[in-house]
Amino acid sequence: MSTRFINLVLSFMSKSQTNKKVVSVINVSKFYGSNSLDSKKVLSEVNLDIFEGEILAILGPNGAGKTTLINMMLGRLSLSSGEISLLGHQPGNIELKRQCGAMLQVSSLPDMSTVREHIELFQSYYTNPMDYSQVIEFAQLSELESKYSRDLSGGQKQRLLFALSICGNPKLLFLDEPTVGLDISARRSLWKAIIELKHAGTSVVLTTHYLEEADHLSDRIVIINNGKVIKIGTPKEIKSEFNSKTIRFNSDVNAEVFSKLHAVKKVRTQQLANQEIQIEIETSDPINTLKEIFSAELIITDLTIAGAALEDAFIKLNQKSKQHEGDLS
Amino acid sequence: MKIKVFIGVIVIAGFFLLLPQPVDKLQQEPRQVSKFLSKLNNNFILRNVRFYDGDVLYENTDVLVQNNLIAKIEKNQNVSENLVEFDGTNKTILPGFIDAHTHVYGNALKDALNFGVTTELDMFTVPETANQYQSVRENDDNIENADLFSSTILATTRGGHGTEYGLKIPVLETTTEVDDFVRKRIQQGADYIKAVYNSKQADKQFYPSISYEILSTLITVAHHQDRMLLVHVDNLISAREAIMLGADGLVHSFMDSVVDESFIKLMLKKNAFIIPTLSVEASVAQQAVGNNLLDDENIMPFLSNQQKHELKAAFPDFDIPSDGLQNAFKSVKKLSLAGVKILAGTDAPNPGTTHGASLHGELRLLVKAGLNNQEAIHSATGAVRKAFEIGNRGTLKIGAKASMILLDGNPFVDINDTSKISAIWKNGQLVERFKYLDKEPTTIKISPSLISDFNDSIQSTQFGKGIVATTDQFAGGDSIVQLTGLTRNKGDGYLQVHGEVKAGLMFPWSGITFLLSESMQQGVDISNLESISFDAKSNTESQIVSVLIFQQYSFQPLEQTLLLTKDWQNYVIDIKKYGSIDLSNIVNISIVASEKRGDFEFSLDNLSLN
Amino acid sequence: MNKGKVIDPVFDKLNLVKPNLINIYYMEAKTETIRLFRTPGFCIPTLLFPIMFYVFFGILFSMNKATMPTYLMITYATFGVIGPALFSFGVGIAIERGQGWFDLKEVSPMPASAYIISRIVLSIIFSLLIIMLLFSIAAIFGDVRLFHSQWILLAIILILGSLPFCAVGMTLGLFLKSSSAPATINLIYLPMGFLSGLWLPINFLPDFMQSFANLLPPYHLAQLSLKVVEMDIGAPIILHIGVLLLYTLFFMFLAMKAYNKKDKQ
């Protein structure tokens, strides 16, 4: 209990200090094969810093390389080039491990140990484990302490794995798809626990393919695709890069006219069946753009205005990167 | 946590200690010594006791033992009040006996001590065994076994006496090998060197022998390396040659003739000694002296089952003339009268003898041969010390270790009293005597039955452990044999035994063995059966086979020979003819070719006991 | 300032001394052992099979009541102590790899030695149980009698001799797929036991098979144990110890290779 309190106070203090790096990934690449040219490059030149007390989400489709990146941070895969340093240690260092916790995708746990036995065992690995009752509280395993792991439901199992990751009072927590298989309320409880931990000073690295989760939890998001980091930024920043609203309407006027409007980023047209044109305008200042449209006194039907969602940003980013690659090749 | 582990270890240890141990057939009754006697240890005084120090007899004196050593021999000694005293009126103290000719293995030295024999001079054993006991003989706390001196491996030639026991030992064939041989023996701990010798001039040549030249070289080399050279002979001619060449002593008497004046003079001139070993000579001469000891109620209860069997065992009949033993007796008497040193030795544990108990038998035989009681006792005590360098052993002079026996009687009047042992001390400490519970394991009685008709298998039998090939390769020989199953008439199976008896051993053999008992622990009882029978024929011209029966504990079987013809015939062997062995404990019956060297082939069928 | 090293005096003070290694060994061993005791699928075959076979062939249908109960007690004890070693290492590790549990333990601060030592302790505990059960049955129903020094020496030889099989099991566990591990290991364990002369005395097998047995480690462990009661074939002690040592070293080497392949699937 006292540890948590100290951590809480310190985390407030640290917010006013310069943010310290807990993980730095410098020019890291991973390839399989003989030489770097014709081999399969799983990650190329990844650069990334993780700061104390932040939740960093790693986002990307399957095969993007996020699992590889996490595994390299955890010391399970070797680096083909570059450096990773966590809390001043090399990945895999046992001193480092004593300050970390991990929740990996495990199909099943050894079935004939109780929840309590699992937790107590893992706690013994750590110098300064969390209070047992606290662990139970965080992971919401109160009624389940003497149950054997084989008798746990899928969601309960996930909570136990979460408990094992936090029971050592880690400074750095790795979560690999932590809410897969959980129902909505369980998911939200876990989010709550993760945020609480962050406030207590724990840095969290999580991989997820739930965009809502990344959006809700993370302080920053790293988007990875095809082994490259596409974008690092806060959810707001990422969304704001494409912080455009889309104004959509039908008209019979030539679309070129609209590109001259205020703060227009892009105009797209689509020919409709009835000789009308559907026009999409992306603008970072929709209000003034609209004013100009109306003042032009054009004939407009079916007017809609939509905001960019993370999904959109995500998709667009992917398109952008593919395009970029296409430009390069 | 540590407590749990500790408890766990205790529980596990307890479990293992609870597991049952073999019920030793030699089950020992605890603590035979009376409470009072048990206080007589290290420091005590014996009063008014008859005391013999190995040379001098004191009819009545006090003996003070201090720090395990004889401190004072004087009447009416004044000692401190705290000192334990023992009233030895009508009792006798003798030095612990020395058996000057034995062979040591197994429990030998423990058994010896149990009968008051505190030192043994071994005349052939393996260095590994000898070294075990030699290395502790000077230790004060060596009170569980008699002290051992040994020759380790004896000097003999290829195929000579000593090679028939199945041990691979180095042999001498040329004089150039002698130096190295002696050096090695000394390296392996030999206190003296022993050789087996039979002169080319002797009447009987039982076995090959080292040559005269080799014997001569042995004596020279041994003396040069500061060791005595002792010789085993079995006739006067060989004895004379050996002593003339300078051998220090003979380890047997001989039964072929009586010593003559020139031989006696030679012995005196050379200051040589003789160890008559009348016990084994008597046994070879088929005088079952071992049985006499079994009848002695002072000896019987202290014999283990193994020792009882050793005493009951007998030699095969070597056709010693009836006056053979008398010759030996007469020789002993003449030599003793002339002043030649006689040493008591038994050659235990040869058939009819055993460690410890037989030494008492030897004393009785020496007296029978004509020595007076004191001379006999001297031959097992002070005389040995004069002949061998064994420290103070055999005597109880001032400063000697108090290894001695307390007898409830007077052996100087009745030699049989040596077995009335009240107490034994080794190095001044009281030794517990072991009494053995009289429980002989019961052997299974066999009823008349077919052993095998060889129809289904040539190896399996109706009872017992089956039929196997046997050859003298077991004892280092080269004979070979092959067993084959064949059929005759209409599918009647029989066993064909085919092989070669090769020269090499004194008693070569090749043939089959039938193991009667399931258990390796004991044999079976066939004493109520009449005969062994089988059909047999020879495949070469007439073939001589020997039918041997082995009792447990004995390596010497009894044998009957048959002449097989080229036709199948039925042979019936009368079991009673094997009467001199213990038919209640038989381990195997063997049918072998042995007489003639060369190829042989014979066939057997329908082997049975009736 | 140290380059890249995060130093926070308050935080670092909270990281006191290293966690107690002995405590970790104890917790790990305790957890594994309790787990397996609760798993009848492991306990029953491991404990019962050697005993069942022994009762049948060594006591009820023994061919020679004087020697077989002792001889087979020793060979079945050999068979019995190999089981926990092969299965707890072989099957245990393979299954945990398949579950992803092995990876979780690997990234945790559990020292690798704790993983291995806890399983060795587990294997020894089961071996001891088998030995105690088998010895009791042999002493009570088979009339086997040995000196205390022999009983104890046998137990020590058997337990120490199970260590090579921990190494074999470890290698198998790191190489085999979790789905096929139990079947594969059984396919190795049972025939190997038979061909090493553990089920029936070695001299019942034809000569060429007897020679072949020299390649198999259980044969050498059995012969070493039989020497305690002088019922062995008569080969020198150094041969048996040598073969067992060779197997241990070889499989430890293989296991390390398998484990150190960081780029594993």
Average pLDDT for residues B414-424, to the nearest whole number?
Answer: 93
Local structure of B40: helix, strand or coil: coil
* Residue B516 neighbours by CB under 8 Å, 6+ apart: B446, B463, B464, B465, B523, B524, B526, B586, B587, B588, B589
Contact C145 B20 (CB under 8 A): yes
Closest chain A CA to residue C261 = A77
The residue type of C25 is: Y
Q: Contacts of residue B521 in chain C, CB cutoff 8 Å?
A: 66
pLDDT band (50, 70, 90) for residue A4: low
* pLDDT score at A316: 63
Select, from the ranges B54-68, B157-171, B536-550, B584-598, the one with the highest average predicted confidence (pLDDT).
Answer: B54-68
Specify the range with the lowest mean pLDDT, choosing from A260-264, B197-201, C4-8, C145-149.
Answer: C4-8
Q: Does B18 touch chain C (CB under 8 A)?
A: no
- Other beta carbons within 10 Å of B422: 16
Closest chain B CA to residue C67 = B519
Helices (H) and strands (E) in chain B, counts: 14, 31
Q: Does A180 touch chain C (CB under 8 A)?
A: no
* Interface with chain B: mutation pick from C28, C147, C149, C153, highest number of B CBs within 10 Å: C147
Please write the tens of the pLDDT for every residue from A81-122. 899 999 989 898 888 999 999 999 888 889 899 999 999 999
Q: Contacts of residue C10 in chain A, CB cutoff 8 Å?
A: 6, 10
Residue environment code for C49-82, b if the CB has 16+ CB neighbours within 10 A, otherwise e: bbbebbbebbbeebeeebbbbbbbbbbbbbbbbb
Q: Contacts of residue A85 in chain C, CB cutoff 8 Å?
A: 4
pLDDT band (50, 70, 90) for residue B253: very high
Taken in order of first residue, the domains within chain B and their CATH numbers are 444-609 (2.60.120.430)
Closest chain A CA to residue C93 = A110
pLDDT at B387 over 60: yes
* pLDDT score at B455: 85
* pLDDT score at C7: 45
pLDDT at C179 over 90: no
Q: Contacts of residue C147 in chain B, CB cutoff 8 Å?
A: 21-22
* pLDDT score at B266: 95
pLDDT at B531 over 80: yes
Specify the range with the lowest mean pLDDT, choosing from A229-233, B407-411, C123-127.
Answer: A229-233
Question: Is the domain defined by A244-307 classed in CATH 3.90.320?
Answer: no
Q: In this structure, is residue C206 part of a structural domain?
A: yes
Question: Cα(first)–Cα(last) distance of chain C, in Å?
Answer: 39
Structure token digits, residue A258: 């609209």
Chains A–C, number of C-beta pairs less than 8 Å apart? 111
In chain C, the number of structural domains is 1
* pLDDT > 70 in chain B, percent: 93
* pLDDT > 90 in chain B, percent: 53
CA C258 to chain CA mean position, Å: 19
pLDDT at C5 over 60: no
Do chain B and chain A touch with ≥3 beta carbon pairs under 8 Å? no
pLDDT at B112 over 50: yes
Q: Is the ipTM of this complex over 0.90?
A: no
* Residue B171 neighbours by CB under 8 Å, 6+ apart: B156, B157, B158, B160, B163
Contact A102 C16 (CB under 8 A): no
Chains B–C, number of C-beta pairs less than 8 Å apart? 33
pLDDT at C10 over 80: no
Closest chain B CA to residue C155 = B16
Average pLDDT for residues B398-403, to the nearest whole number?
Answer: 94
CATH topology assigned to domain A2-236: Rossmann fold (3.40.50)
Q: What is the mean pLDDT of chain B?
A: 88
Residue environment code for C152-179, b if the CB has 16+ CB neighbours within 10 A, otherwise e: bbbbebbebbbbbbbbbbbbbbbbbebe
Question: d(Cα C19, Cα C26) in Å, to the nearest integer?
Answer: 12
pLDDT band (50, 70, 90) for residue B26: very low
Average pLDDT for residues A134-153, to the nearest whole number?
Answer: 90
Closest chain C CA to residue A3 = C14
Q: Which domain holds residue C82?
A: 12-259
Q: Does B4 touch chain C (CB under 8 A)?
A: no
Question: d(Cα B517, Cα B523) in Å, to the nearest integer?
Answer: 5
Average pLDDT for residues B287-301, to the nearest whole number?
Answer: 89
Average pLDDT for residues A110-137, to the nearest whole number?
Answer: 91
Residue scoring higher pLDDT (A73 or A226): A73
Contact A76 C110 (CB under 8 A): no
pLDDT at B337 over 90: yes
pLDDT at B23 over 70: no
- The number of residues making up chain C comes to 265
Distance (Å) from the alpha carbon of B474 to chain C's nearest alpha carbon: 15
* pLDDT score at B312: 86
Average pLDDT for residues A256-262, to the nearest whole number?
Answer: 71
* pLDDT score at C234: 73
In chain A, where the domains are located: 2-236, 244-307
Q: Contacts of residue A74 in chain C, CB cutoff 8 Å?
A: 107
Specify the range with the lowest mean pLDDT, choosing from A159-163, B79-83, B556-560, B562-566.
Answer: B556-560
Q: Subunits with at least 3 CB pairs below 8 A relative to chain B?
A: C
Please write the tens of the pLDDT for every residue from B340-370. 999 999 999 999 999 999 999 999 999 999 9
Contact C145 B521 (CB under 8 A): no
* pLDDT score at B209: 94
pLDDT at A322 over 90: no
Which helix or strand (DSSP H or E) is residue B385 part of? helix B382-387
Q: Does C207 touch chain A (CB under 8 A)?
A: no
* pLDDT score at C4: 36
Closest chain A CA to residue C3 = A88
Contact B518 C151 (CB under 8 A): no
Q: Does A41 touch chain C (CB under 8 A)?
A: no
Structure token digits, residue C9: 């005096």
Please write the tens of the pLDDT for every residue from B555-564. 667 778 888 8
Q: Subunits with at least 3 CB pairs below 8 A relative to chain C?
A: A, B
- Please identify among residues 456-485 of chain B the ones whose CB lies closer than 8 Å to any CB of chain C: 465
pLDDT at B237 over 70: yes
Q: Contacts of residue C139 in chain B, CB cutoff 8 Å?
A: 19-20
**Closest among B121, B49, B109 to B391, alpha carbons compared:** B121
Q: Which of B12, B23, B520 is the closest to C66 by Cβ?
A: B520
pTM more than 0.80: no
Do chain A and chain C touch with ≥3 beta carbon pairs under 8 Å? yes
* pLDDT > 70 in chain C, percent: 90
* pLDDT score at A186: 85
Q: Contacts of residue B21 in chain C, CB cutoff 8 Å?
A: 145-148
Contact C145 B21 (CB under 8 A): yes
Average pLDDT for residues B66-78, to the nearest whole number?
Answer: 92
Distance (Å) from the alpha carbon of B465 to chain C's nearest alpha carbon: 9
* pLDDT score at C11: 45
Average pLDDT for residues B137-166, to the nearest whole number?
Answer: 91
Question: d(Cα C18, Cα C30) in Å, to the nearest integer?
Answer: 21
Average pLDDT for residues B108-119, to the nearest whole number?
Answer: 95
Average pLDDT for residues A253-277, to the nearest whole number?
Answer: 72
Question: d(Cα B462, Cα B469) in Å, to the nearest integer?
Answer: 18
* pLDDT score at A6: 55
* pLDDT score at B40: 83
Specify the range with the lowest mean pLDDT, choosing from A262-271, B486-495, C227-236.
Answer: A262-271
- Give me the sign of the Cα torsion angle C234, C235, C238, C239: negative
Question: d(Cα B37, Cα C217) in Å, to the nearest integer?
Answer: 58
Closest chain C CA to residue A106 = C100
Q: What CA–CA distances, in Å, run from B30 to A157, B33, B433, B434? A: 68, 9, 9, 8
Question: d(Cα B23, Cα B540) in Å, to the nearest integer?
Answer: 51
pLDDT band (50, 70, 90) for residue B437: low
Phi, psi angles (nearest 5°) of residue C254:
-60, -40
pLDDT at A278 over 50: yes
